[in-house]
Amino acid sequence: MSAAPQRRYAGIGWTVVAAVCALVLAALWVAPLLWALSTALRPEYETISPVFRFLPQDWTVAAFAKVLGAGNVPRWLFNSALVALLVTIITMAVSLMAAYAFSQMRFRGRDLLFMLAMLAFLLPFEALLVPLFRMMNQLGLINSYAGIVLPQVVSPVAIYVFRQFFDTIPQDFREAAVLDGASPLRVLWSVYLPMSGNIVWAMAIVTFIGAWNNFLWPFIIVTSGDMMTIPLGLTQTYDAFGVRYAQLMAAALLGAFPVALAYIVFQRRVTHGFLAATGLKG
């Protein structure tokens, strides 16, 4: 017989305590989003009515309709999608190539360069705001998609993760390809990439979510309403909607929806990606 290893804490007492804890915590964690949904599904006067209700009395999707038709939220969703997509594609391309070079190629100063690249992880991006802002200004990239996207493609984490992974691939594959006369880029493309599917997907999704949620850099570089990404735009909503809470909650939920969906659909990959970034085995 082998005791089910999951039952580390035997005893019915602990189980009940654990179950209660789990329920309470789960309820607490889901409550804010559910409450936001409940607020978004009611007419405005109900949100500030002196009579408090947990569920709407007059269910309505008017708030969502208003927000979607307001002109800006759809535009912000589009901007976020475009920016996140561009950041992801470019970061993956740049990081894969760099990681391959660091992992599989020999050149002078490789380890030094790698350490320098990892240094970027240590230095908070926030410290570079002013020079970055000025540089973007001089280049004329303020308030442009390129301006929002480009500084985000430097990802030491992605390079680190990919390099770790490439290091584990047996050398035989590479040597066979090289013997066939393949250039490094070709080896990367036809040998390493196909084997890296999972990890690349994981990092891609994590990068996408990170780019979608990025607040600080877009906040600095975007100067007009129609170039804003969702996190930015939502914080401006007080101007757009005033104190109309149903619409505010609808806007918040619409902004959350794409990434929440990505998480639900790709839950395992997301988990994998975030864990890989911390260096832990998932």
Q: For residues 246-265, which are near other proteins according to CB under 8 A? A: 248-249, 251-253, 255-256, 259-260, 262-264
Cα(148)–Cα(217) distance, integer angstroms: 7
Cα(150)–Cα(188) distance, integer angstroms: 24
Residue range at the interface with other proteins (CB under 8 A); choices 57-65, 67-75, 243-251? 243-251
* Residue 67, C-beta contacts closer than 8 angstroms, at least 6 positions apart: 73, 247, 250, 251, 254
Under the binding rule (CB under 8 A), the answer on residue 43 touching other proteins is no
Cα(278)–Cα(282) distance, integer angstroms: 10
Residues 79-118 that bind other proteins (CB under 8 A): 86, 89-90, 93-95, 97-98, 100-102, 105-108, 110, 113, 117
Give the residue from 130, 133, 154, 151 showing the smallest Cα distance to 142: 133
Under the binding rule (CB under 8 A), the answer on residue 182 touching other proteins is no
Q: Which is nearer to other proteins, 2 or 69 (CB)?
A: 2
Distances (CA, A) of 158 to 92, 118, 201, 277: 8, 10, 11, 7
Minimal distance, residue 65 CB to other proteins, in Å? 19
Minimal distance, residue 231 CB to other proteins, in Å? 4
Selected binder of other proteins within 111, 115, 172, 181 (CB under 8 A): 172
Residues 53-82 that bind other proteins (CB under 8 A): none
Selected binder of other proteins within 12, 55, 115, 127 (CB under 8 A): 127
Residues 200-229 that bind other proteins (CB under 8 A): 200-201, 209, 212-213, 215-216, 223-225, 227
* Residue 207, C-beta contacts closer than 8 angstroms, at least 6 positions apart: 87, 88, 91, 92, 155, 158
CA 156 to chain centre: 15
Under the binding rule (CB under 8 A), the answer on residue 45 touching other proteins is no
Q: Which is nearer to other proteins, 70 or 94 (CB)?
A: 94
